[in-house]
Amino acid sequence: MTIAQPADQSKGGWTANGNPGERDLAVHKDGITLTVMGAVVCGRPIRQESMQKQLTSHFQNLFAYDHCLVFFHLTYAYIKDVEEVIEY
């Protein structure tokens, strides 16, 4: 029985600039990527355009990191109105 192997901060896929992407966590088994996780910190109000762009960019990059069936996007929200992140 082969156990799935996690790899943190491993390179994979591509960024919008054509550089290798840096995945926060990828789980592999028998040379196949089972899942990829990307995380981002929301430390400013979501109504700020720069924060919206950062959240959107991290979400879109996730799909370029590898070909698998399950992707996880984790947002750490250090803001007063966490509901804004969920609604966004």
pLDDT score at 70 = 92
Position 2 scores a pLDDT of 61
3 state DSSP class of 32: strand
pTM for the full predicted model:
0.73
22/25 Cα distance (integer angstroms): 9
| Residue 19 main-chain phi, psi, to 5 deg | -85, 160
Run means of pLDDT, 10 residues per run, the chain, 88 residues: 61 70 83 89 91 90 88 91 85
